[in-house]
Amino acid sequence: MTNHVFAPNKVAFLLETEAALGNAQLMQIAAEEPAPEPPKYRTNYIGSKQRLIDWLWSQTPTGTKVVFDAFSGSAAVAYMFKSKGLKVITNDRLRIGYHMARAIVENQRETLSDDDVDALLATNPKAGSFVRDNYSGLYFHSGVHERIDTIRANISPLRGYKKDTALFALLRACLLATDHGTFASTAADTRGLVTNGEQFDKAFRKFVGKVNGLVFDNGLENKVIHGDVLAALPKVQADVAYFDPPYLTQFGRWNYETHYHFVEGLMTNWAGLELDDGKLKRFKTDHKTLTEQTAPAFFKAFLGAAGHIPSWLLSYRNKAIPTKRQIQSILEQSGRALKIRTQKHVYSKFNKHKTDANNAKEHLFVATLDQDPQAAEETTARADSGEPLGRARFEIDGNVELIEPQSTAKLTHNGAPLPQFRSVLCHAGTNRNGDHFTYEELTRAARTAINQKVNLEHGQAIEDIVGGIVDAEFIAAADGPRVEIIGELFTDEFPLARRVRKLMKVGIVKQVSMECSYREGECSICHKRFRQKEAYCLHLARFKGKEYQGKPVYEVLHGVEFTGVGLLSREGADQDAKITQVSSIETNQKAKNLEVQAMEIQKPETSVNWEERYKDLEMKYTEQTRRMGASEIMNLYKENDLVFPTEQDRQVEFSRLSGKPTNEQAKTRPRFG
């Protein structure tokens, strides 16, 4: 059977809508389509990043040729990298992850034919009855257990990627046939999708076709590893390491081995495994679930083992343990240049709607370390020119105050000036983090803040930008030398900026947090200079921000460059930053009028008009959000072969879902395995 070679630059992932076609039909379609796109991969694996892959790709360092996916799971991200024309190496400690990755990442051309599938579904009197004997009444409807025993026995003689493909399809059929798509409860499928052996066979055949359709050759030798990440990492040579590690959340602990124990055991037919006496019949294991106490050490361990890999991408959700701050601290200690990107994400496997576990913000930590000769030359050139080196960034916080627009303020479409604010950025001296800014350094660096972005809570996505810094100056004042900035809110273009303006008005958003990079740091005790935190002297490594033998320990920053400002509602590192009173050369009455003008957001006539406009925007936003949620649910119906009798029936269901608040939509959201 000939497998089509897909062009990596035409990948469009994760919107799979093809029906359950037979293998011959799939291959015929692939052969007839001119210049087809690589296949689209969808999975309901817990924690899968399939909906984020375009975003992840946009953050991948330019020039990357080899990627190591350290915790590959469903292999959705690894498959994306393969389709982008990169060499991919994956690792997963679970066999389900290993076989999934071998089937669609390492495998370049082998597929299962229709005859192969017929043989796998054929009656086998020697199949045995392990699943029936041990799991009768658990997880599946009557008749399904026998089919699993038979298909698994028929898979055993297969070798190579055909076996991986068959195991992949079998585990997907099992996930579809149990409730919630995991084995954390004993319930069988409650959706009526797989209620007997015949439907299970149909599901298996469908998933073979889907996996076959994912196979393509990207012209590179991709590799899949099965083992412990700490053992694998030191041996891997790659440009980028992608980490999507297991972690705790505020909503509970997720141990992949326990949630997927049935299909994990199925991969080896439970060879060498002993079942426990619990009601779920899990196999005994010495693998420990991460705890709040052990999680930080685990993160430090695997990142420490990846020190030789130039760039890291670490994907991590909010409301997790370790916290975002803890992860940031661990990464900063590596001495790498660190960027944090954030994207909203909805997980499909959680079902704790009251705690909002499904709705999350996905953080992507991009940590890079220049190691190749060209990068080293660029680093030296930047140092010689006074440009800041790639370095972990930190925050310096100060208060923010709305002001009357300056004469240079840009105008909105209706002629009103854009709202502006003034803030102390930072003072000369030492903040409570132990970062020290000299008078001379701030004098030089102050104006590097001009034309940098203003965002909300350090969000790095385009939609998080609400304005820009239009002016910055160093103030040599007797009450404290400092840098002050004037920021402008883009209320004419961005609804979020208008909301931020209102939050400033009522005093909720009242702090700024400045990000900066710096070329090198100097210890206040021994005066040694460092370009990486991992090279810190004992004083900075253990006592920064504290005292050593009665002397304050701080890091004097050299080559500071301000890179942006985040609007916050809390106090930050620079405790002495105060609201700056803006002088007015006009009369008090005129200043008051200007202040009122600045406090309005494109206000046409009266505050009543503004309130009505604000409510209208809120209403439109709510309507759009509900329609998006309804569309997602309708797509789930389609992807799982649930068809409405007529188009009118489909429209009625869409209208019904669109009328529900998002929290009500979440409660009625269907769950497919």
pLDDT tens readout for residues 628-656: 778 878 877 777 767 777 878 888 888 88
> From CA 544, how far away is CA 558, in angstroms rounded?
16
- For residue range 339-369, what is the model confidence (pLDDT) as tens digits? 888 876 454 443 444 444 445 678 899 999 8
Q: What integer is the mean pLDDT of 151-176?
A: 96
pLDDT value at 9 more than 70: no
- For residue range 56-108, what is the model confidence (pLDDT) as tens digits? 888 899 889 999 999 998 898 999 999 989 999 999 999 999 999 999 999 99
Q: What integer is the mean pLDDT of 559-571?
A: 77
Higher pLDDT, 40 or 591: 40
Percent of the chain with pLDDT over 70: 72
Within 13 Å, how many C-alpha atoms sit on residue 446's CB side?
24
* Domain ranges within the chain, ordered by starting residue: 388-519+559-599, 607-668
pLDDT band at residue 451 using 50, 70 and 90 as cut-offs: confident
pLDDT band at residue 616 using 50, 70 and 90 as cut-offs: low
The reported pLDDT for the residue numbered 205 is 97
> From CA 131, how far away is CA 305, in angstroms rounded?
40
Q: What integer is the mean pLDDT of 131-148?
A: 96
The reported pLDDT for the residue numbered 1 is 32
Q: In this structure, are residues 569 and 398 in contact, taking their beta carbons and an 8 Å threshold? A: no
Per DSSP, the residues of 348-407 read SS---GGGT-SEEEEEEEEEE---SHHHHHHHHHHHHHTPPPS---EEEEEEEEEEPPPT
Residue linked to tokens 């991986």: 164
What type of residue sits at position 524? S
The reported pLDDT for the residue numbered 228 is 92
The reported pLDDT for the residue numbered 462 is 65
pLDDT band at residue 130 using 50, 70 and 90 as cut-offs: very high
> From CA 128, how far away is CA 194, in angstroms rounded?
22
pLDDT value at 221 more than 70: yes
Cross-strand partners of 240: 67, 311
**What's the whole-model pTM score?**
0.53
**Pairing verdict, β 311-317 and 223-226:** unpaired
Q: What integer is the mean pLDDT of 43-47?
A: 44
The reported pLDDT for the residue numbered 271 is 93
pLDDT value at 384 more than 70: no
Q: Which range, 118-132, 247-261, 360-374, 574-588, has the best average confidence (pLDDT)?
A: 118-132
pLDDT value at 615 more than 70: no
Residue 666's SS3 state is helix
Per DSSP, the residues of 55-66 read HHHHTSPTT--E
Q: What integer is the mean pLDDT of 143-148?
A: 97
* Helix 23-32 vs helix 114-121: crossing angle, to nearest 10: 160
**Residue 621 φ then ψ, to 5°:** -65, -45
> How far apart, in Å, do the first and last CA atoms of the chain sit?
30
Instruction: With CA atoms as reference, report the closest residue to 324 among 395, 253, 258, 399.
Output: 395
Instruction: Report CA torsion sign: 331, 332, 337, 340.
Output: positive
pLDDT band at residue 588 using 50, 70 and 90 as cut-offs: very low
Average pLDDT along the chain: 76
pLDDT band at residue 412 using 50, 70 and 90 as cut-offs: low
Higher pLDDT, 515 or 147: 147
- For residue range 262-299, what is the model confidence (pLDDT) as tens digits? 999 999 999 999 999 999 999 998 877 778 788 888 89
> From CA 309, how far away is CA 137, in angstroms rounded?
48
The reported pLDDT for the residue numbered 649 is 80
pLDDT value at 426 more than 60: yes
